[in-house]
Structure 1
Protein backbone atom coordinates (compact mmCIF):
# COMPACT_ATOMS: atom_id res chain seq x y z
CA UNK A 1 0.00 0.00 0.00
CA UNK A 2 1.03 3.60 -0.57
CA UNK A 3 2.25 5.60 2.39
CA UNK A 4 0.01 8.61 2.94
CA UNK A 5 0.78 11.80 4.82
CA UNK A 6 -1.68 12.06 7.71
CA UNK A 7 -1.97 15.51 9.29
CA UNK A 8 -3.90 17.38 11.92
CA UNK A 9 -3.61 21.14 12.15
CA UNK A 10 -3.45 23.16 15.36
CA UNK A 11 -2.75 26.65 16.64
CA UNK A 12 0.09 27.54 18.98
CA UNK A 13 1.46 30.60 20.72
CA UNK A 14 5.12 31.52 20.23
CA UNK A 15 5.13 32.64 23.89
CA UNK A 16 4.75 28.96 24.90
CA UNK A 17 7.76 27.83 22.89
CA UNK A 18 10.18 28.21 25.82
CA UNK A 19 8.05 25.86 27.94
CA UNK A 20 8.03 23.40 25.06
CA UNK A 21 11.81 23.52 24.64
CA UNK A 22 12.48 23.04 28.36
CA UNK A 23 9.97 20.16 28.43
CA UNK A 24 8.28 21.60 31.51
CA UNK A 25 4.71 21.23 30.34
CA UNK A 26 2.26 19.00 32.17
CA UNK A 27 2.45 16.23 31.18
CA UNK A 28 5.96 16.25 29.77
CA UNK A 29 6.95 14.72 26.46
CA UNK A 30 8.84 11.43 26.68
CA UNK A 31 12.02 13.40 25.95
CA UNK A 32 12.96 17.04 25.45
CA UNK A 33 12.33 18.13 21.83
CA UNK A 34 15.36 18.30 19.56
CA UNK A 35 14.29 21.04 17.19
CA UNK A 36 15.46 21.53 13.60
CA UNK A 37 14.91 24.90 11.93
CA UNK A 38 14.80 26.12 8.36
CA UNK A 39 13.39 28.93 6.23
CA UNK A 40 11.75 28.67 2.83
CA UNK A 41 9.52 30.54 0.41
CA UNK A 42 6.45 28.87 -1.06
CA UNK A 43 4.95 30.01 -4.37
CA UNK A 44 1.47 28.56 -4.93
CA UNK A 45 0.00 28.08 -8.39
CA UNK A 46 -3.51 27.48 -9.73
CA UNK A 47 -5.77 28.25 -12.69
CA UNK A 48 -9.09 29.87 -11.78
CA UNK A 49 -9.14 27.75 -8.60
CA UNK A 50 -9.56 24.55 -10.64
CA UNK A 51 -6.96 22.77 -8.52
CA UNK A 52 -7.68 24.10 -5.04
CA UNK A 53 -11.42 23.51 -5.45
CA UNK A 54 -10.56 19.84 -6.00
CA UNK A 55 -8.21 19.56 -3.04
CA UNK A 56 -5.01 19.76 -5.07
CA UNK A 57 -2.29 22.20 -4.02
CA UNK A 58 0.69 22.85 -6.27
CA UNK A 59 3.64 24.94 -5.16
CA UNK A 60 7.30 25.59 -5.76
CA UNK A 61 9.37 25.64 -2.57
CA UNK A 62 12.57 27.69 -2.52
CA UNK A 63 14.87 26.76 0.36
CA UNK A 64 17.08 29.18 2.24
CA UNK A 65 19.98 28.67 4.62
CA UNK A 66 19.15 27.06 7.98
CA UNK A 67 18.37 30.35 9.74
CA UNK A 68 18.70 33.12 7.19
CA UNK A 69 15.75 34.68 5.38
CA UNK A 70 17.77 36.75 2.92
CA UNK A 71 20.12 34.13 1.52
CA UNK A 72 20.23 33.34 -2.17
CA UNK A 73 17.57 30.75 -2.94
CA UNK A 74 17.91 27.70 -5.11
CA UNK A 75 15.87 27.02 -8.22
CA UNK A 76 13.05 25.58 -6.14
CA UNK A 77 11.40 22.18 -5.83
CA UNK A 78 7.95 21.48 -7.24
CA UNK A 79 5.54 19.85 -4.79
CA UNK A 80 1.92 18.73 -4.99
CA UNK A 81 -0.53 17.58 -2.33
CA UNK A 82 -3.78 15.86 -3.30
CA UNK A 83 -6.41 15.48 -0.58
CA UNK A 84 -7.75 11.93 -0.38
CA UNK A 85 -11.45 11.01 -0.08
CA UNK A 86 -12.76 11.71 3.42
CA UNK A 87 -10.04 14.27 4.12
CA UNK A 88 -11.02 17.49 5.92
CA UNK A 89 -9.20 20.68 6.82
CA UNK A 90 -8.44 19.63 10.39
CA UNK A 91 -8.01 15.87 9.74
CA UNK A 92 -6.10 15.72 6.48
CA UNK A 93 -4.94 12.78 4.40
CA UNK A 94 -2.77 13.57 1.38
CA UNK A 95 -0.89 11.97 -1.41
CA UNK A 96 2.21 14.14 -1.55
CA UNK A 97 4.92 14.11 -4.23
CA UNK A 98 7.88 15.99 -5.67
CA UNK A 99 7.91 13.86 -8.81
CA UNK A 100 7.17 16.33 -11.61
CA UNK A 101 5.78 13.58 -13.85
CA UNK A 102 3.30 12.64 -11.14
CA UNK A 103 2.50 16.32 -10.56
CA UNK A 104 1.74 16.66 -14.27
CA UNK A 105 -0.64 13.70 -14.03
CA UNK A 106 -2.39 15.22 -11.01
CA UNK A 107 -2.88 18.57 -12.74
CA UNK A 108 -4.01 16.97 -16.00
CA UNK A 109 -6.92 15.37 -14.17
CA UNK A 110 -8.45 18.84 -13.75
CA UNK A 111 -6.71 20.81 -16.52
CA UNK A 112 -6.32 18.72 -19.69
CA UNK A 113 -3.36 19.49 -21.93
CA UNK A 114 -1.52 21.43 -19.23
CA UNK A 115 2.05 22.51 -19.97
CA UNK A 116 5.32 21.17 -18.53
CA UNK A 117 7.20 22.33 -15.46
CA UNK A 118 9.38 24.72 -17.50
CA UNK A 119 6.17 26.68 -18.14
CA UNK A 120 4.88 26.31 -14.57
CA UNK A 121 2.49 23.64 -15.89
CA UNK A 122 0.55 26.48 -17.53
CA UNK A 123 -0.57 27.72 -14.09
CA UNK A 124 -0.64 31.24 -12.71
CA UNK A 125 0.98 32.35 -9.48
CA UNK A 126 -1.60 32.47 -6.70
CA UNK A 127 0.54 33.87 -3.88
CA UNK A 128 3.92 33.56 -2.22
CA UNK A 129 5.25 34.00 1.29
CA UNK A 130 8.13 32.99 3.51
CA UNK A 131 7.96 30.56 6.42
CA UNK A 132 10.30 29.97 9.34
CA UNK A 133 9.79 26.35 10.38
CA UNK A 134 10.72 24.47 13.51
CA UNK A 135 10.13 20.72 13.60
CA UNK A 136 10.85 17.86 15.98
CA UNK A 137 9.99 14.23 16.63
CA UNK A 138 7.75 13.80 19.67
CA UNK A 139 7.33 10.60 21.68
CA UNK A 140 9.48 8.73 19.12
CA UNK A 141 6.64 8.77 16.58
CA UNK A 142 4.96 12.07 15.77
CA UNK A 143 6.50 14.79 13.60
CA UNK A 144 5.51 18.19 15.00
CA UNK A 145 5.81 21.19 12.67
CA UNK A 146 5.66 24.77 13.98
CA UNK A 147 5.45 27.48 11.31
CA UNK A 148 5.69 31.27 11.53
CA UNK A 149 5.13 33.24 8.33
CA UNK A 150 6.55 36.58 7.24
CA UNK A 151 3.03 38.06 7.41
CA UNK A 152 2.62 37.29 11.12
CA UNK A 153 0.69 34.01 11.24
CA UNK A 154 1.62 31.02 13.42
CA UNK A 155 0.24 27.56 12.77
CA UNK A 156 1.26 23.95 13.18
CA UNK A 157 0.69 20.36 12.13
CA UNK A 158 1.25 16.93 13.61
CA UNK A 159 2.17 14.45 10.89
CA UNK A 160 2.43 10.70 10.47
CA UNK A 161 3.31 8.62 7.44
CA UNK A 162 0.99 5.65 7.42
CA UNK A 163 -1.01 3.24 5.26
CA UNK A 164 -4.03 3.13 7.59
CA UNK A 165 -5.37 6.71 7.67
CA UNK A 166 -8.15 6.02 10.19
CA UNK A 167 -5.80 4.53 12.76
CA UNK A 168 -3.20 7.25 12.22
CA UNK A 169 -5.79 9.99 12.79
CA UNK A 170 -6.87 8.29 16.03
CA UNK A 171 -3.24 8.12 17.20
CA UNK A 172 -2.70 11.82 16.40
CA UNK A 173 -5.91 12.83 18.20
CA UNK A 174 -4.82 10.96 21.33
CA UNK A 175 -1.38 12.59 21.18
CA UNK A 176 -2.83 16.10 20.86
CA UNK A 177 -5.31 15.52 23.68
CA UNK A 178 -2.53 14.35 25.97
CA UNK A 179 -0.48 17.51 25.41
CA UNK A 180 -3.31 20.00 25.10
CA UNK A 181 -1.33 22.48 27.23
CA UNK A 182 0.57 23.32 24.01
CA UNK A 183 -1.63 22.22 21.11
CA UNK A 184 -4.78 24.28 20.53
CA UNK A 185 -7.05 22.37 18.14
CA UNK A 186 -10.15 24.53 18.64
CA UNK A 187 -9.79 26.93 15.70
CA UNK A 188 -6.73 26.19 13.57
CA UNK A 189 -6.20 28.38 10.55
CA UNK A 190 -4.04 27.41 7.60
CA UNK A 191 -1.40 29.67 6.10
CA UNK A 192 -3.25 30.23 2.83
CA UNK A 193 -6.48 31.13 4.63
CA UNK A 194 -4.65 33.60 6.86
CA UNK A 195 -2.78 35.05 3.86
CA UNK A 196 -5.92 35.78 1.86
CA UNK A 197 -7.66 37.21 4.89
CA UNK A 198 -4.82 39.69 5.18
CA UNK A 199 -4.32 40.17 1.43
CA UNK A 200 -7.68 39.55 -0.31
CA UNK A 201 -7.27 38.63 -3.98
CA UNK A 202 -8.17 41.37 -6.40
CA UNK A 203 -11.36 40.80 -8.36
Structure 2
Protein backbone atom coordinates (compact mmCIF):
# COMPACT_ATOMS: atom_id res chain seq x y z
CA UNK A 1 0.00 0.00 0.00
CA UNK A 2 2.84 2.41 0.85
CA UNK A 3 4.53 1.71 -2.47
CA UNK A 4 1.28 2.42 -4.34
CA UNK A 5 0.83 5.71 -2.50
CA UNK A 6 4.41 6.67 -3.27
CA UNK A 7 3.90 6.04 -6.97
CA UNK A 8 0.76 8.18 -7.03
CA UNK A 9 2.36 11.05 -5.11
CA UNK A 10 4.43 13.60 -7.01
CA UNK A 11 5.48 17.20 -6.65
CA UNK A 12 3.17 19.57 -8.46
CA UNK A 13 2.37 23.25 -8.62
CA UNK A 14 -1.36 23.67 -8.05
CA UNK A 15 -2.89 27.04 -8.87
CA UNK A 16 -6.45 28.02 -8.08
CA UNK A 17 -7.69 31.17 -9.77
CA UNK A 18 -10.91 33.08 -10.15
CA UNK A 19 -11.37 35.76 -12.77
CA UNK A 20 -13.24 38.98 -12.12
CA UNK A 21 -14.57 41.80 -14.25
CA UNK A 22 -12.82 45.15 -14.06
CA UNK A 23 -14.36 48.62 -14.13
CA UNK A 24 -12.68 52.02 -13.94
CA UNK A 25 -14.15 52.54 -10.46
CA UNK A 26 -13.11 49.12 -9.11
CA UNK A 27 -9.56 49.48 -10.44
CA UNK A 28 -9.18 52.91 -8.84
CA UNK A 29 -10.53 51.59 -5.53
CA UNK A 30 -8.17 48.63 -5.64
CA UNK A 31 -5.14 50.80 -6.31
CA UNK A 32 -6.04 53.07 -3.37
CA UNK A 33 -7.34 50.28 -1.10
CA UNK A 34 -10.30 52.61 -0.82
CA UNK A 35 -13.24 50.24 -0.32
CA UNK A 36 -15.11 49.24 2.81
CA UNK A 37 -13.84 47.23 4.53
CA UNK A 38 -10.30 47.92 3.29
CA UNK A 39 -7.75 45.13 3.02
CA UNK A 40 -5.79 44.98 6.31
CA UNK A 41 -2.68 44.53 4.18
CA UNK A 42 -2.26 45.30 0.50
CA UNK A 43 1.25 45.33 -0.99
CA UNK A 44 1.87 46.39 -4.56
CA UNK A 45 4.24 43.92 -6.21
CA UNK A 46 4.90 45.94 -9.32
CA UNK A 47 4.19 45.88 -13.03
CA UNK A 48 5.63 43.73 -15.76
CA UNK A 49 5.03 43.23 -19.45
CA UNK A 50 5.23 39.85 -21.15
CA UNK A 51 4.36 38.27 -24.49
CA UNK A 52 2.44 35.00 -24.85
CA UNK A 53 2.24 32.73 -27.86
CA UNK A 54 -0.29 29.90 -27.52
CA UNK A 55 -0.07 26.64 -29.45
CA UNK A 56 -2.49 23.84 -30.29
CA UNK A 57 -3.22 21.17 -32.86
CA UNK A 58 -6.77 21.08 -34.20
CA UNK A 59 -7.95 22.16 -30.70
CA UNK A 60 -6.93 18.80 -29.25
CA UNK A 61 -5.32 20.55 -26.28
CA UNK A 62 -7.57 23.52 -25.55
CA UNK A 63 -10.74 21.46 -25.93
CA UNK A 64 -9.62 19.37 -22.96
CA UNK A 65 -8.48 22.29 -20.80
CA UNK A 66 -4.78 22.15 -21.70
CA UNK A 67 -3.01 25.37 -22.66
CA UNK A 68 0.55 25.28 -24.00
CA UNK A 69 2.34 28.57 -24.48
CA UNK A 70 5.66 30.33 -24.78
CA UNK A 71 5.89 33.23 -22.35
CA UNK A 72 8.80 35.45 -23.28
CA UNK A 73 10.40 32.45 -24.97
CA UNK A 74 9.91 29.98 -22.10
CA UNK A 75 7.63 26.97 -22.52
CA UNK A 76 4.77 26.58 -20.04
CA UNK A 77 1.66 24.45 -19.83
CA UNK A 78 -1.46 24.78 -17.72
CA UNK A 79 -3.67 21.71 -17.25
CA UNK A 80 -7.14 22.33 -15.89
CA UNK A 81 -7.94 19.94 -13.07
CA UNK A 82 -11.42 21.25 -12.33
CA UNK A 83 -13.67 24.27 -12.82
CA UNK A 84 -14.40 26.38 -15.89
CA UNK A 85 -13.17 29.53 -17.62
CA UNK A 86 -14.20 31.69 -14.65
CA UNK A 87 -13.18 29.61 -11.65
CA UNK A 88 -10.44 27.05 -12.22
CA UNK A 89 -7.84 24.78 -10.70
CA UNK A 90 -4.72 24.26 -12.82
CA UNK A 91 -1.61 22.16 -12.58
CA UNK A 92 1.32 24.10 -13.99
CA UNK A 93 4.18 22.54 -15.95
CA UNK A 94 7.41 24.24 -16.96
CA UNK A 95 9.75 21.40 -17.95
CA UNK A 96 10.17 20.81 -21.67
CA UNK A 97 10.21 17.03 -21.22
CA UNK A 98 7.00 17.10 -19.17
CA UNK A 99 5.29 19.33 -21.70
CA UNK A 100 6.51 17.19 -24.58
CA UNK A 101 5.13 14.05 -22.94
CA UNK A 102 1.81 15.79 -22.31
CA UNK A 103 1.50 16.96 -25.90
CA UNK A 104 2.44 13.51 -27.23
CA UNK A 105 -0.25 11.85 -25.12
CA UNK A 106 -2.90 14.28 -26.33
CA UNK A 107 -1.99 14.46 -30.00
CA UNK A 108 -0.42 11.05 -30.59
CA UNK A 109 2.64 12.77 -32.02
CA UNK A 110 5.99 13.09 -30.26
CA UNK A 111 8.00 16.12 -31.38
CA UNK A 112 10.79 18.23 -29.97
CA UNK A 113 10.34 21.67 -28.48
CA UNK A 114 12.64 22.92 -31.23
CA UNK A 115 9.74 22.39 -33.66
CA UNK A 116 7.10 23.62 -31.18
CA UNK A 117 6.18 20.04 -30.21
CA UNK A 118 4.51 19.69 -33.62
CA UNK A 119 1.92 22.33 -32.71
CA UNK A 120 0.71 25.42 -34.56
CA UNK A 121 0.43 28.95 -33.23
CA UNK A 122 -3.14 29.91 -32.40
CA UNK A 123 -2.74 33.24 -30.56
CA UNK A 124 -0.14 35.88 -29.80
CA UNK A 125 -0.48 39.01 -27.68
CA UNK A 126 1.28 41.13 -25.08
CA UNK A 127 0.04 41.72 -21.52
CA UNK A 128 0.77 44.44 -18.99
CA UNK A 129 0.26 42.96 -15.51
CA UNK A 130 -0.09 44.73 -12.17
CA UNK A 131 0.16 42.53 -9.05
CA UNK A 132 -0.77 42.92 -5.39
CA UNK A 133 -0.44 40.69 -2.34
CA UNK A 134 -3.56 41.01 -0.21
CA UNK A 135 -3.69 39.93 3.43
CA UNK A 136 -0.32 38.18 3.02
CA UNK A 137 -1.93 35.27 1.15
CA UNK A 138 -3.94 36.20 -1.92
CA UNK A 139 -2.41 37.41 -5.16
CA UNK A 140 -4.57 39.88 -7.06
CA UNK A 141 -3.61 40.66 -10.66
CA UNK A 142 -4.92 43.05 -13.28
CA UNK A 143 -4.06 42.14 -16.86
CA UNK A 144 -4.33 44.60 -19.75
CA UNK A 145 -3.88 42.84 -23.09
CA UNK A 146 -2.52 44.49 -26.23
CA UNK A 147 -5.84 44.05 -28.07
CA UNK A 148 -7.71 46.20 -25.53
CA UNK A 149 -9.05 43.67 -23.02
CA UNK A 150 -8.72 43.94 -19.22
CA UNK A 151 -9.43 41.17 -16.74
CA UNK A 152 -8.55 40.49 -13.11
CA UNK A 153 -7.72 37.33 -11.21
CA UNK A 154 -7.47 36.28 -7.57
CA UNK A 155 -4.99 33.43 -7.17
CA UNK A 156 -3.76 30.99 -4.56
CA UNK A 157 -0.92 28.56 -5.17
CA UNK A 158 0.27 25.38 -3.48
CA UNK A 159 3.56 23.61 -4.20
CA UNK A 160 4.66 20.27 -2.82
CA UNK A 161 4.23 16.53 -2.74
CA UNK A 162 0.53 16.11 -3.33
CA UNK A 163 -1.25 12.85 -4.09
CA UNK A 164 -4.51 12.93 -6.12
CA UNK A 165 -6.81 12.79 -3.06
CA UNK A 166 -4.89 15.47 -1.16
CA UNK A 167 -4.72 17.59 -4.32
CA UNK A 168 -8.51 17.56 -4.66
CA UNK A 169 -8.95 18.52 -1.01
CA UNK A 170 -6.40 21.32 -1.30
CA UNK A 171 -8.16 22.65 -4.38
CA UNK A 172 -11.56 22.66 -2.68
CA UNK A 173 -10.11 24.45 0.34
CA UNK A 174 -8.44 27.14 -1.78
CA UNK A 175 -11.62 27.69 -3.80
CA UNK A 176 -13.53 28.22 -0.55
CA UNK A 177 -10.89 30.69 0.67
CA UNK A 178 -11.07 32.71 -2.55
CA UNK A 179 -14.87 32.73 -2.48
CA UNK A 180 -14.96 34.07 1.10
CA UNK A 181 -12.22 36.61 0.33
CA UNK A 182 -13.99 38.02 -2.72
CA UNK A 183 -17.33 38.21 -0.95
CA UNK A 184 -15.83 40.11 1.99
CA UNK A 185 -14.10 42.64 -0.28
CA UNK A 186 -16.74 42.69 -3.00
CA UNK A 187 -16.08 46.37 -3.71
CA UNK A 188 -12.86 45.32 -5.47
CA UNK A 189 -14.44 42.52 -7.50
CA UNK A 190 -17.47 43.69 -9.53
CA UNK A 191 -20.10 41.06 -10.36
CA UNK A 192 -20.66 39.88 -13.91
CA UNK A 193 -18.99 37.68 -16.46
CA UNK A 194 -15.23 38.01 -16.78
CA UNK A 195 -13.84 36.85 -20.12
CA UNK A 196 -10.36 35.35 -20.03
CA UNK A 197 -7.72 36.74 -22.34
CA UNK A 198 -7.82 33.86 -24.83
CA UNK A 199 -11.60 33.98 -25.16
CA UNK A 200 -11.47 37.75 -25.55
CA UNK A 201 -8.64 37.46 -28.08
CA UNK A 202 -10.62 35.14 -30.34
CA UNK A 203 -13.74 37.30 -30.02
CA UNK A 204 -11.68 40.37 -30.95
CA UNK A 205 -10.03 38.56 -33.84
CA UNK A 206 -13.41 37.37 -35.16
CA UNK A 207 -14.95 40.83 -34.99
CA UNK A 208 -11.91 42.37 -36.71
CA UNK A 209 -12.00 39.80 -39.50
CA UNK A 210 -15.75 40.29 -40.06
CA UNK A 211 -15.19 44.03 -40.48
CA UNK A 212 -12.39 43.58 -43.00
Question: Of 135, 146, 153, which aligns to 1:150?
Answer: 146
2:125 paired with 1:119: no
For 2:54, the equivalent position in structure 1 comes to: 44
Q: Which residue of 2 aligns with 1:169?
A: 175
Tell me the distance in 2 between the aligned counterparts of 1:21 and 1:9. Answer: 18
For structure 1, which segment, 87-96 or 120-129, has the greater mean C-alpha deviation from structure 2 after superposition?
87-96
User: Could you list the runs of 5+ residues in structure 1 that have no partner in the other structure?
Assistant: 63-75
Q: TM-score, normalised by structure 1?
A: 0.87
CA distance in 2: counterparts of 1:167 and 1:111, whole angstroms: 33
Q: Distance in 2 between matches of 1:185 and 1:142?
A: 19
Q: 1:178 to 1:149 in 2, by over 3 A?
A: same
Any idea what the Cα deviations from partners look like across 1:116-169, whole Å, max 9, x if unmatched?
100000100001001000011101100111100111100011111134000100
Number of equivalent positions: 188
Q: In structure 1, what is the Cα distance between the partners aligned to 2:95 and 2:105? A: 16
Specify the structure having the higher radius of gyration (Cα).
2
Select 1:77's aligned residue among 57, 74, 78. 74
Aligned partners of 1:150 and 1:28: how far apart in 2?
Answer: 31
Q: Give the Cα separation in 2 of the matches to 1:161 and 1:187.
A: 23
Who is 2:197 aligned against?
Answer: 191
Alpha-carbon distance in 1 for matches of 2:171, 2:148: 32
Structure number with the higher strand fraction is 2
Residue 5 (structure 1) aligned with residue 2 (structure 2) = no
Match of 2:29 among 3, 19, 32: 19
Q: Secondary structure at the match of 2:29?
A: helix
CA contact (8 A) 1:21 1:32 kept: no
Structure 1 position 200, deviation (Å): 2.1
Shift, 1:15, TM fit: 4.4
- Return the structure number with greater helix share: 2
Q: What runs of 5+ residues in structure 2 fail to find an aligned partner?
A: 1-8, 159-166
Give the whole-Å Cα distance in 2 for the aligned partners of 1:185 and 1:155.
12
List, as ranges, runs of 4+ consecutive aligned residues in structure 1 with deviation greater than 4 Å. Answer: none
Cα separation, 2, equivalents of 1:32 and 1:167: 22
